[in-house]
Structure 1
């Protein structure tokens, strides 16, 4: 079967054919190629791909000369196609990329960035991660350090940086800050990077200086929804009143789902002056908008809604001094009236919850925590939490107090509800779950948070600590780092199933202070496995500690490269 190679739209085949024909005068002249028909080029391409013995060229015949006839026809068609083109108007030149006046990255740091962006680690055998550091997981920390140092991104790294941010939303804020104004310039040229224009840094670019008010108004009236959300969040950070006025100007015409997102953005810079607007939102047509407005108002302890909820909650909770010791008595509401619903109480409980306990929890959650000192004999939060609660209402009451402490950012109540980290079942009576404990920890400062989690790990080990570790600042404080390493070592010596600690080990690689690497050298050898140990556990532990040490030392090198500038 005779096949001809696929060809491109170029005049080279035509020229070669003309020269070859001129050097062979004894051959008959090639047939006259008929005028082109619609789809002629596509037909020639199909014949070239399939072969002339399977697909006869348009206007040609089968036989030994079919391939040469195909090339002749292609050459003639190429000339026709090119001759039929008319000169087009030159496209407008793109506006030059803006200058980035930040200092450039030091050479070693720029090379390191390229390595971080191009790393594609493959899994080790058996699904294991191997001992090589995962460079992509170090990129967020590298970006944070580079941004803190005020460096500009190398222009040649911007496409890879934008691709990485496109694939990982958690990278976007730091990546776009590092990429600077040139990222927005590139995003306007490539639809794949349009997320940069919708992000907070891009949505509000150029909205300061002369004419800023007009540009803000135009973006608010004409921008995409994501751009408007970014604009509102940015304005709230620097001008809460102006953002509120902008939102109020179009509130009545916004869609319900948009009103919900806009209302939620008022969390940024929430202040007492927001109360009139939020009180108005309590009558919104959307239930979700009403609930969000009520939640925000309850976070303002002096709001009228907070006072109403305090009065309702206070009638449900009292102190029975006739009991020994005195105990809290709960009388949950018997109905959810229209006023409660207007103030954000959801009348219908989820499956498995009783109506009265559901209403009661919402009332206590929304009431200012200052309510309870007056209601319960002037006691401190620790004393209140320690009081017994009659008739099995303790779990419901303390869970509601946990949510209130998180909503109102009340550290004193959070400490009382967390209890001592060494207490049985990892906390005080209000710590109803790991999720609640993690949220309560978020109300404390970084040092206190790390100290509490370190005490928890020292007492209870790592089996329940993963969610709590995620609340701690990076790099981990020395006591917390030591507690994690000691617990990992204990788990290894006990022959524990190693794969169950892979999540904590991954956190340690990113969060442990690099100075701890020297303390881990003694854990790199493969330990002797006991009879009851998981098969292959010793090798896994050694491999994991090797990766941890190499990652910590790599992080130290990266920090040094960025300090070199």
Structure 2
């Protein structure tokens, strides 16, 4: 029998329902589904989230809200989602139209060269992935090159392309180390965007101009209002900004509300005085020594000890001097230490913490705090007019050398004393420079920070040439970028020696990563001879030769990429 098609436009007849054993269960399922949808609709925002969770996990793992598990769970979930969607849309109430935001401010800086703009997009969108076995492969890690790119672009005074600002702010949000350079490059438009997107609010706190001290005829009034009514982060930024151009005004502002601030806020505000610390800060810091918060007292004492002419420095010098003397009866003469037997109330008021950490003796703990807070000028007068270098060379009796030298290291860093830093560092070729010694590598790295960039690089180059790279990572991190030529050559030579020796290659991955970012790009030509897979000694780590070749290939590629990036920022058509 041939079926006759229905005429066009005619209604399609309903398919008859054939009674059967499952008819009742189907009707029941439909009723259950409707009930589920109604319950989900009434559950509000939490119900919607539950539906989303069930959809993501699957109804076999997460039963929809108000429903039952089984074959009908998926259909019930879809019905409930449809009902909830209608409810959410219907529940919206028309609101009064908000005013349009002010137009984004202009950026007077010149635009990026077009090649540099394309490079920026590549750097911001790079998603590096590890090669097999956790190895990095030979491709450069572009995101690690972004800080240098930003530094160069800022040095040349370029403006950020408007279309790149969202990605740039997202990158700065995820990496705090990027924020200063990224926000300087983004310019005033970054602040405009940050006021529209809560995810970028950090820019209002961190960007130059985000909460800087207002200018103009009513500047004082607006500063006062921001200080009284602003968010905590805005107040910190305001204080830091004001401190750089009007230290007395910043100090006056802080004093006006000091007594009513929370302890944790007082600590942060006090820390801002490190910028431009001056003798005029002493009276305020002396009052802070009586603060009810131990952390505030300790910070105030630390700042006062960084002022060698302060009354606290004189008090600490007097205490420390009674603990250290020169025993001329010994041959050669030696320093003797008699640590304090108690920590009295006056010591605690001056920032000495009475209770030592676990595993530390009380007397050595107190002595270390006195010695690091005393002006370094105390010691030549106390030790027969010897220079810093001669004092450091003196033996110290009864095992006190490490404690005393560590305290002097902290004092040299705090007081930014290059003479004492050089004496404590010693010669980089000395045997003790590569071992534990009286001054640890961590302390040496901090001491290097008190020296100029050239002197720092020269010392670390000498250290690497004598002791190799195994202990040099912390020291390299203190050197300016790009590395000076002697330092770069020392690093490459040490890597080559490790490669030829068949050393375990992954031990040097950290130094390799630093070299990619810090080695002068002009060194790339010297590395071409290291790209081949070397012959592996019998005792070499398996696969070491291939890893070294791959690592040097990545290093050379990265250096040439950095050179190209610099050239793109130097020349080219802007756009």
Q: 1:82 to 1:224 in 2, by over 3 A?
A: closer
Q: 1:23 to 1:396 in 2, by over 3 A?
A: same
Please tell me whether residue 235 in structure 1 is matched to residue 242 in structure 2.
yes
Please tell me whether residue 107 in structure 1 is matched to residue 114 in structure 2.
yes
Q: 2:445 aligns with which of 425, 432, 438?
A: 438
Q: Does the 8 A contact of 1:418 with 1:430 survive in 2? A: no
1:392-541 to 2 correspondence within 5 Å?
A: 392-426=399-433, 431-541=438-548
Aligned to 2:349: 342
Displacement of 1:326 in angstroms is 1.3
Aligned to 2:126: 119
For residue 325 of structure 2, give the secondary structure of its aligned residue in structure 1.
strand
Please tell me whether residue 300 in structure 1 is matched to residue 307 in structure 2.
yes
Displacement of 1:335 in angstroms is 1.2
Displacement of 1:42 in angstroms is 8.0
Partners of 2:452 and 2:93 lie apart in 1 by 70
Please tell me whether residue 214 in structure 1 is matched to residue 221 in structure 2.
yes
Aligned length: 514
Q: 1:283 aligns with which of 270, 290, 315?
A: 290
Partners of 1:86 and 1:360 lie apart in 2 by 69
Q: Does the 8 A contact of 1:398 with 1:429 survive in 2? A: no
Q: 1:456 to 1:42 in 2, by over 3 A?
A: same
Aligned CA-pair RMSD: 2.9
The alignment's TM-score, normalised by the length of structure 2, stands at 0.84
Q: 1:211 to 1:545 in 2, by over 3 A?
A: same
Displacement of 1:203 in angstroms is 3.3
Aligned to 2:332: 325
Q: Does the 8 A contact of 1:200 with 1:227 survive in 2? A: no
Q: Does the 8 A contact of 1:203 with 1:228 survive in 2? A: no
Q: Does the 8 A contact of 2:434 with 2:471 survive in 1? A: no
Q: Does the 8 A contact of 1:259 with 1:289 survive in 2? A: yes
Q: Does the 8 A contact of 1:524 with 1:542 survive in 2? A: yes
Q: 1:430 to 1:417 in 2, by over 3 A?
A: farther
Q: 1:518 to 1:324 in 2, by over 3 A?
A: same
Measured against aligned partners, the alpha-carbon deviations of 1:387-439 in whole angstroms (never above 9, x if no partner) come to 11122211111111111111100000000001000001216997521110000
Measured against aligned partners, the alpha-carbon deviations of 1:191-237 in whole angstroms (never above 9, x if no partner) come to 11111112242532572233222222122111111111111111112
Partners of 1:164 and 1:202 lie apart in 2 by 20
Q: Does the 8 A contact of 2:212 with 2:237 survive in 1? A: no
Partners of 2:363 and 2:94 lie apart in 1 by 79
Q: Does the 8 A contact of 1:442 with 1:471 survive in 2? A: yes
Displacement of 1:318 in angstroms is 1.0
Partners of 1:172 and 1:263 lie apart in 2 by 23
Q: 1:215 to 1:125 in 2, by over 3 A?
A: same
Aligned to 1:9: none
Partners of 1:428 and 1:502 lie apart in 2 by 22
Q: 1:535 to 1:85 in 2, by over 3 A?
A: closer
For residue 247 of structure 1, give the secondary structure of its aligned residue in structure 2.
helix
Partners of 1:118 and 1:371 lie apart in 2 by 55
Measured against aligned partners, the alpha-carbon deviations of 1:145-170 in whole angstroms (never above 9, x if no partner) come to 10111100000000110111111111
Please tell me whether residue 183 in structure 1 is matched to residue 190 in structure 2.
yes
Partners of 2:209 and 2:109 lie apart in 1 by 18
Measured against aligned partners, the alpha-carbon deviations of 1:327-385 in whole angstroms (never above 9, x if no partner) come to 11111111111111111111111122211111111111100000111111111100111
Partners of 1:345 and 1:487 lie apart in 2 by 44
Partners of 2:451 and 2:412 lie apart in 1 by 11
Partners of 2:319 and 2:95 lie apart in 1 by 75
Displacement of 1:455 in angstroms is 0.3
Q: 1:167 aligns with which of 174, 197, 204?
A: 174
For residue 208 of structure 2, give the secondary structure of its aligned residue in structure 1.
helix
Aligned to 1:263: 270
Please tell me whether residue 158 in structure 1 is matched to residue 165 in structure 2.
yes
The alignment's TM-score, normalised by the length of structure 1, stands at 0.86
Q: 1:206 to 1:40 in 2, by over 3 A?
A: farther
Q: 1:374 aligns with which of 374, 381, 384?
A: 381
Q: Does the 8 A contact of 1:416 with 1:428 survive in 2? A: no
Please tell me whether residue 23 in structure 1 is matched to residue 9 in structure 2.
yes
Please tell me whether residue 136 in structure 1 is matched to residue 122 in structure 2.
no
Q: 1:319 to 1:528 in 2, by over 3 A?
A: same
For residue 329 of structure 1, give the secondary structure of its aligned residue in structure 2.
strand
Partners of 1:295 and 1:374 lie apart in 2 by 23
**Gap regions ≥5 residues in structure 2:** 1-5, 15-34, 42-47, 59-74
Q: 1:537 to 1:81 in 2, by over 3 A?
A: closer
Partners of 1:86 and 1:496 lie apart in 2 by 70
Q: 1:104 to 1:249 in 2, by over 3 A?
A: same
Partners of 1:199 and 1:463 lie apart in 2 by 37
Query: Displaced runs of 4+ in structure 1, greater than 6 A?
Result: 25-28, 37-43, 80-87, 427-430
Q: 1:157 to 1:321 in 2, by over 3 A?
A: same
For residue 551 of structure 2, give the secondary structure of its aligned residue in structure 1.
helix
Aligned to 1:13: none
